[in-house]
Structure 1
Amino acid sequence: MDDEYAKLIRRMNPPRVVIDNNVCEDATVIQRLESNASFAPSLRGSVGVMPSEEYTSIELSGTDRPGLLSEVCAVLADLHCNVVNAEIWTHNARAAAVVHVTDDSTGCAIKDPKRLLTIKELLCNVLKGDDDLKTANMTLSPPGVTNRGRRLHQIMLADRDYERAGVTGVGRIENKSSRPHVTVFDCIQKDYTVITMSSKDRPKLLFDIICTLTDMQYVVFHGLVETGRMEAYQEFYIRHVDGFPISSEAERERVAQCLEAAIERRAFEGLELELCTEDRVGLLSDITRIFRENSLCIKRAEISTEGGKAKDTFYVTDVTGNPVDPKIIDSLCRQIGHKILTVKHNSSTSPKASQGTTMGFLFGNLFKARSFQNFKLIRSCS
């Protein structure tokens, strides 16, 4: 009944949106997104696609290590599970994945309880490893309930990946200069908590921030977003869902850590490989095994199949977290096929001179000249 009532309220009070293509030469401006402030929408399924009976959705989390994805894919292949779609993230020595699988003989979702229990037991053994101090998890989720990227944020947030262990990934010392800068402070006059964030710009950056704030039970009332050529600045005025601003230093620190993690999870500097070929049962297991045998560590991956074709993107480093040797790339492409596996991007070869100075100049002046007090770009209660 509550869900039907919520739908009725949305229909009666739809958001009002104004789109302007004239005010800016190289961007579309969307203004005045409004909603009923007294209505708090449910968090369940708020960014999802329609449920599907075509596959079984598996969620995984555990300690990251070289070869982990290869081991997971090998187990699924041995259990006659075909991976049709997946997304894998790693951050701060933790790994999370949302994987959609079917039975490799029928092409349908796996529903047998005993078989699902076997899958869970074997995957948990792989995820746990020998020295995992945290619990490894494998759960089944209804397909299509939540956007996959948002669900990965939720999994990693619950896994407390924002608690830094002093290293990034496996064996790589953390580079503090490349980290986002997040500040959290009080706006006593307006009874808000103010959050400012400066980082490299990238696709879905705003999505990642807003999803994290929402999942942490905060409401954004006002905000500012500004991007330069490669940089991004965001400023939000928030309160907790109970209507109060953040009240303790410990909570401020936790919010800053969680937002830094949200920015970093999807970001990656290094080698991006794209695989395009005819799909077949066991393909992902074979490809990730070849990666492992060539001493590559998969830091993030996006797996998709459509119309009998597999299109996968892998973000990789060597096992120490450093850039991949070009000789290994050549060897990899020869083994898999130059037309099948291609280098899509390699940021480790891009010049990065004077980047820090540019960022400091942009954000220092932007915060002084365009703070929320003078620039009300975003006003939202959802």
Structure 2
Amino acid sequence: MDMGYGPYYVHPELESLVDRIHPPRVCIDNDTYEDCTLVKVDCANRHGILLDMVQVLTDLDLVISKSYICSDGRWFMDVFHVTDQLGNKITDKDLIHNIQQSICASRREKTQVKTSSIGKEMRQRHVPMEHMTLEMTITDRPGLLSEISAVLAELRCHVSAAVVWTHNTRAACIIHVENDDSNHGSSIMDPQRVDEVQSKLVTVVNARHTNHERPSVKLTSQATGQPHTERRLHQLMMADKDYQEKCIYSSRDKSYETIVTVENCREKGYSVLNVTSPDRPKLLFDTVCTLTDLQYVVFHAAVSSKGPVAFQEYYIRQKDGHTLNSEIQRQAISRCIVAAVERRVSNGLRLDVKSRNRSGLLSDVTRVFRENGLSVARAEIGIHGEKAVGSFYVTDVGGRDVNLQMVETVKKEIEKIGGMVFVTNGSSLDSSSHRSSRSNNTEEEQPARSSLGTLLWSQIERLSSKFQTLTP
């Protein structure tokens, strides 16, 4: 029997009034723990605010090792345990000021921070004022990125930024293109030019199309209020139903599996979502992003990690106030969360490519990959000043590890076209920003999985008392 809680809704005028009376408060605490900085947020609640906070911290390249969330009673209180990418506390005054200003702006103006990317260089990538945005979802296949970039180069479209994900045989990409140096005639967004580009890309997409595939190609102009790029990739892949198949990733002879359970806490009127998965960067963002887009409201949550494993526990309701009462609902959210956690996992070898920015560069680099039997599992490309930079996670065409001889051949051929290749061994699970690389000798170093429920409620009480001490 459903508890019958009402829908989550606040009238916009009332929300604005509450913001003016009680503006967001952000406290940066470097005294409580020796190994991390606490970011405490206290403000009026609204749907999506948790995602905004997590997105701000993620886009500032901060690593969230733990978090405690409480948002009952139309009020939002959260504590994030954060470090920089090297596991150090946040002591830089400019960065602290940026954290406070960004969180307050995301709440006050309801705007999102500009898209992040792999590394600081990538986050500063150039996106021109006038550009065309390509969104594509398709069945993944070796050489796909090479085929797309070759068509764009042929049409004199210069790729200024791009992000590509693959998961469960599906691929999604967001590519920003502008006119290359040789095309000074029509605007990149001229209707005839848009039709020409879209027609050629559809031809490439449909070249190996079968009846069971679900290809999609969409070209748009830059619009204000566009979603965060990584959030948009989640939305594209979820709309493409990449969650319908279960996939277990393996890296270095280890199996990585995500386990999701959903139960109802009837005495509290919540559904309880538990996620156990390998720990990795941006894990919290990916989970919260999906919950938000699925129209679930997080009322309480506790997130922690122990060694290489992360534990997330969320007390949620649907936006209409109901819990998840049917097995179909529970299975649906479980599949979507598993997909969200695993989309960013890349088994391949990471190759960082740097070169002078020029037209057709992406086409040349991906052609080298294709001709040497490499398949791109994930990629992010951008421009930093006069340089083009890209991170590619590559496997062989069968999804297996790349041998060193193949890598050396690729490096030499990319050097011939004016680029440099830097090799990073291991997948994104082994990134230097992996949260488990730090030892967390705090109270959660005890068995985490069995104690999260108890820990959650004790932390909520602690949060309430701590935030009260901040009130003047």
Mapped partners of 2:48, 2:165: distance in 1: 33
Q: Is the 8 A contact 1:92 1:168 kept in 2?
A: no
Instruction: Output one character per residue of 1:271-324: Cα deviation in whole Å (capped at 9) or x when no partner.
Output: 000001101100000000110001111000000112110010000111111101
Is there any run of 5+ residues in structure 2 with no aligned partner, and where? 1-10, 53-108, 116-126, 431-435, 437-443, 465-472
Q: Is the 8 A contact 2:28 2:40 kept in 1?
A: yes
Corresponding residue of 2:43: 34
> 1:45 and 1:262, CA in 2 relative to 1: closer, same or farther beyond 3 A?
farther
Instruction: Output one character per residue of 1:102-138: Cα deviation in whole Å (capped at 9) or x when no partner.
Output: 0113589611111111211221222232325233112
Please give the residue correspondences for 1:106-185 in structure 2 after superposition, counting only pairs within 5 Å: 110-128=188-206, 129-131=208-210, 133-141=212-220, 142-143=222-223, 145-164=226-245, 177-185=255-263
Say whether 1:343 aligns with 2:427. no
> 1:287 and 1:297, CA in 2 relative to 1: closer, same or farther beyond 3 A?
same
Corresponding residue of 1:375: 459
Instruction: Output one character per residue of 1:194-253: Cα deviation in whole Å (capped at 9) or x when no partner.
Output: 111111222111111111110010111100010234321111111111111112111111
Deviation at 1:326, TM superposition (A): 1.2
TM-score by length of 1: 0.85
Alignment match of 2:448 (pick from 355, 360, 366): 366
Mapped partners of 2:323, 2:18: distance in 1: 27
Deviation at 1:58, TM superposition (A): 1.3
Alignment match of 2:266 (pick from 172, 188, 193): 188
Corresponding residue of 1:15: 24
Mapped partners of 1:333, 1:91: distance in 2: 27
Identity, in percent, stands at: 39
> 1:204 and 1:143, CA in 2 relative to 1: closer, same or farther beyond 3 A?
farther
TM-score by length of 2: 0.69
Mapped partners of 2:428, 2:42: distance in 1: 39
Corresponding residue of 1:244: 322
What SS class does the counterpart of residue 184 from structure 1 fall into?
strand
Mapped partners of 2:463, 2:162: distance in 1: 33
Q: Is the 8 A contact 1:239 1:246 kept in 2?
A: yes
Is there any run of 5+ residues in structure 1 with no aligned partner, and where? 356-361
Mapped partners of 1:57, 1:109: distance in 2: 14
Structural RMSD (CA) = 3.5
Write the letter of the residue equivalent to 2:173. A
Mapped partners of 2:331, 2:254: distance in 1: 17
State the aligned residue count: 364
Mapped partners of 2:180, 2:428: distance in 1: 38
Corresponding residue of 1:358: none
Which structure dedicates a bigger proportion of its chain to helix? 2
Say whether 1:281 aligns with 2:350. no
Corresponding residue of 1:77: 153
What SS class does the counterpart of residue 324 from structure 2 fall into?
coil
> 1:337 and 1:6, CA in 2 relative to 1: closer, same or farther beyond 3 A?
farther
Q: Is the 8 A contact 2:346 2:428 kept in 1?
A: no
Alignment match of 2:139 (pick from 50, 63, 70): 63
Deviation at 1:12, TM superposition (A): 4.8
> 1:114 and 1:363, CA in 2 relative to 1: closer, same or farther beyond 3 A?
farther
Write the letter of the residue equivalent to 1:342. F
